[in-house]
Structure 1
């Protein structure tokens, strides 16, 4: 496994674990931030730009599919890229509609669990390398 993969797996894993804890323990703050970001076209564009930038950085620096850790890191990069493009170029309010469609408020504990499992897998995969 390359040093880039190890670094990104640890970084993404740690971030996902902290994000999951934040979603779970600071539920109202998380829902308030998501509501505010998804209701303002400027913030919506900013989120799209950040996603696109992160996705491109991962794709350009790490487009490897050899093992499960490499594939997961690369897949997250491609997801970030496509979600960034969609957030930037879909009509205003698309992010809000996506959040409503996902029933984020009702399923927040499930999303926090998925984030923590993904984060743990990535972090452990990076540390074990």
Structure 2
């Protein structure tokens, strides 16, 4: 396992833990956020730029499939790059996938828990290695 795998796992993991907890703690505002996100083309474009940038940086630094942790980091980078590309190309039309979050706050809470658990695994695996 390389040092970059451990650094990225810690960075992404901590971000996922904080973001997941924030979604659960503030799920009442998630519906409003998703609705505005869908309606505001500038916000969607900026999110696409950031997601693409993040994904490409991860992929440029880390294209490794050697073990579970390395594969998870590469896969997260790949998903981010795909998400960024889709948001840039299709804009608000692509945000139809987020509709369950503004229609049912329980879906947002479950997603927040899932993200926090993935983050916890990444942080734990990076320090246990």
TM-score by length of structure 2 reads 0.91
2:82 and 2:120 map into 1 onto residues whose CA distance is: 24
1:94 and 1:76 map into 2 onto residues whose CA distance is: 23
Q: Does 1:96 align with 2:105?
A: no
2:101 and 2:48 map into 1 onto residues whose CA distance is: 18
Alignment of 1:28-39 (within 5 A): 28-39=28-39
1:49 and 1:81 map into 2 onto residues whose CA distance is: 9
RMSD: 1.2
For structure 2, list consecutive stretches of 5 or more residues without a partner in the other structure.
none
Q: Does 1:58 align with 2:58?
A: yes
Q: How far 1:38 moved relative to its partner?
A: 2.3
Q: Does 1:69 align with 2:69?
A: yes
1:8 match = 8
Q: Does 1:83 align with 2:78?
A: no
Question: Are the aligned partners of 2:34 and 2:101 in contact in 1 as well (CA < 8 Å)?
Answer: no
Matched residue pairs, number? 126
Question: Are the aligned partners of 1:39 and 1:96 in contact in 2 as well (CA < 8 Å)?
Answer: no
Moved over 4 A (4+): none
Q: Does 1:119 align with 2:116?
A: no
Q: Residue 38 of structure 1 aligns to a residue in which SS?
A: helix
Q: How far 1:114 moved relative to its partner?
A: 1.0
Q: How far 1:2 moved relative to its partner?
A: 0.9
1:31-66 CA deviation, whole Å, 9 max, x = no partner? 333322221011111100101000000000001000
Question: Are the aligned partners of 1:22 and 1:30 in contact in 2 as well (CA < 8 Å)?
Answer: no
